[in-house]
Structures are given as C-alpha cells and as structure tokens.
Amino acid sequence: MRTERRKLLVGLSSLVGLAAIGAVGAATQPKEKVIKILARKFTYSPNHLDLKLGVPVILEFTTADVLMGFNAPDFQVRADIMPGKVEQVRLVPDKVGNFSFLCDIFCGSGHESMNGTITVSA
Ligand SMILES: [Cu+2]
C-alpha cells in the first residue's frame, strides 16, 4: 500500500515537471510573424507572399475602401475584410509551390482581377 502511494507521488511529480517544461517551451517560442495586407479596389498590397514551409504566419487585413474578401483555398483560409476593422487569420503553409488567393466578395468592376500569389518554399 505504501509503495503504491509512493509510486503515485513520483508519477505526479514527474507530470508536474513535464508541465513546467512545456510552459517554458511555450514562453520562449518566437511569436508568429504578422504580415499586414491592405486591400483596395482592386488590389492587395502586397499581392505576393513568400512563406516558408511549416512556418505559420498571421495575415492582418485592412481595407482602404469597401468590404473585401480574402480567400486562399489551397490553405482553407478566408476572411471578410471590413471597413474600419482589422481582421487577422492564421495561415499554415503546409505544401510547397505557388498558390493563388483572391477576393471572394464582389467589390466592383475590377473584382474579377483582384488576386495574388503565395509562394511556399522548403
Ligand atoms: Cu472583390
């Protein structure tokens, strides 16, 4: 009975130790890079993003005029970019190559050409 209790205590203390290591690891991890993107009729600035495979980024959107959309279907990321608001989405580049993004909310006569590219390198 006594040894059982000791085993339990040892088990618990190593769990606490692991949790502490986990907390330190999280605290020292670098913050995800924030990429600011300004949408306006009918472009994104920038309209080309260079990303690294497996390195997540935060895309931070604002619009200079009307409501816009952002859609990067290859990464299943999309956002509504509303006037007067800052919209953030997280993108995880999980494949290498060139991928398109586009505006998916009709915003005027140049809407169809409002797009950009994401290049993910290894
Ligand atoms: Cu549009």
109 and 83, same structural domain? Answer: yes
Q: What is the mean pLDDT of the chain?
A: 87
Distances (CA, A) of 25 to 7, 18, 29, 78: 27, 10, 6, 30
Distance CA(92)–CA(11), nearest Å, equals 36
Instruction: Give me ligand 1 centre to Cα 13, in Å.
Output: 56
Same domain, 85 and 107: yes
50 CA to middle of ligand 1, Å? 23
Which pLDDT score, from 0 to 100, does residue 12 have?
A: 47
Close Cβ partners of 92 (under 8 Å, ≥ 6 residues apart): 54, 56, 75
Q: Tell me, what amino acid is at 62?
A: T
- Going from the Cα of 40 to the center of ligand 1, the distance in angstroms, rounded, reads 9
CATH number, position 99: 2.60.40.420
Domain count within the chain: 2
Q: What confidence category does residue 84 fall into, taking pLDDT thresholds of 50, 70 and 90? A: very high
Number of Cβ within 10 Å of residue 55's Cβ equals: 13
pLDDT per residue as tens digits for the range 21-57: 445 555 566 799 999 999 999 999 999 999 999 999 9
Strand 33-40 and strand 43-45: the pairing is: antiparallel
- List the domain range (segments joined by +) for residue 46: 33-121
Distance of CA 103 from the midpoint of ligand 1 (Å): 4
pLDDT at 71 over 80: yes
Residue whose structure tokens are 């959107």: 61
- Who has greater pLDDT, 7 or 101? 101
**8-state DSSP, 104:** -
What mean pLDDT do residues 91-119 have? 98
